[in-house]
Amino acid sequence: MPINWLQPDFADERGRLKMSIHALVAETPSRRILMDTCLGNDKENRRIPNWNKLHGSFLADLAAAGYPRESIDTVVCTHLHVDHVGWNTMLVDGSRVPTFPNARYLMGRVEFAHWTAQRQCYDVAAVLADSVTPVWAAGLVDLVETDHRICDEINLVPTLGHTPGHVSVRIASRGEEALITGDFMHHPCQIARPDWSSTADTDPTEARHTRERMLTRLSDTPILVIGTHFAGRTAGHIVPDGGAFRLVA
Ligand SMILES: [Zn+2]
């Protein structure tokens, strides 16, 4: 059955899914926190051909938005997949160096152990080598638990299944609340069909259980859900819809 509400933000007129890749900044009175770092520039050995050797304007755009890279004090990696760690580093004189030299990079303890144990896998090795290891070597990584509190307003929330240590990010301020999904949902179609798992899910069964649990918890609440890969309007609220849910503005 077609999921009609996906158009036009999340699917085109022919029903083909639209996705995007977001880095999100949260600013508190004392902190500047960047959540996920997209694909990065100048990367190589990526499985998806057009993710190689990008020359995008991400850092200029971030600075133009008021957040020069030196001003970021915390980088959160919801998980260590290729499209969430790219701008952890940048290429300078042939070397990969931390893009955010004044930040602590928060990575999940379980997540980090999982991926470093798979170094022999070709594309995992590439991502670790160019986007994780240089930050680790610079002493900027803090390994954290899946419910880590970053500051008064922001804490991590375990949403396992997509990867073994996957987290979402909860923001609570002035009586309002938001949740940055990370990849426990890749596309809003999974709000209507929580049983649809992405091929990228490490454990599809656990991922489905996480979606069902989180969507049930979020449904009919004023919590703003911000999708890390949601194109179009990117954020909305979860409401019941038949036996499942839908996203509304
Ligand atoms: Zn992703």
Ligand 1 centre distance from Cα of residue 85 (Å)? 10
SS3 annotation, 168-230: EEEEEECCEEEEECCCCCCCCHHHHCCCCCCCCCCCHHHHHHHHHHHHHHHCCCCCEEECCCE
Centroid of ligand 1 to alpha carbon of 19 (angstroms): 10
Mean pLDDT of the chain, nearest integer: 96
- Give percent of the chain above pLDDT 90: 92
Q: How far is the CA of 228 from the centre of ligand 1 (A)?
A: 7
Ligand 1 centre distance from Cα of residue 182 (Å): 7
pLDDT in tens, 11-23: 999 999 999 999 9
Q: Average the pLDDT over 124-143 and give the result.
A: 97
For 235-244, which contacts have Cβ atoms below 8 Å and span 24 or more sequence positions? 235/178, 238/191, 241/192, 244/191, 244/192, 244/193, 244/194, 244/215
Cβ–Cβ < 8 Å for 180, 171: yes
Average pLDDT over residues 194-210: 94
Is the pLDDT at 233 greater than 90? The verdict is no
Per-residue pLDDT at 125 exceeds 90: yes
CA trace torsion 223, 229, 233, 237 (10° rounding): -20
pLDDT, one tens digit per residue, over 77-86 is 999 999 999 9
Q: How far away, in angstroms, is 183 Cα from ligand 1 center?
A: 5
Q: How far is the CA of 226 from the centre of ligand 1 (A)?
A: 13
C-beta of residue 104 within 8 angstroms of C-beta of residue 142: yes
pLDDT of residue 244: 94
Q: How far is the CA of 179 from the centre of ligand 1 (A)?
A: 16
pTM of the model: 0.95
- What is the strand order of the sheet 141-144 is part of? 24-27, 32-35, 74-76, 104-108, 141-144
CA atoms within 13 A on the CB side of 67: 24
Look at the alpha carbons of 94, 96, 98, 99 in this order and tell me if their dihedral is positive or negative: positive
Compute the distance from residue 221 Cα to the ligand 1 centre, in Å: 25
Q: Give residue 81 CA to ligand 1 midpoint distance, Å.
A: 6
Cα of 84 vs centre of ligand 1, distance in Å, is 6
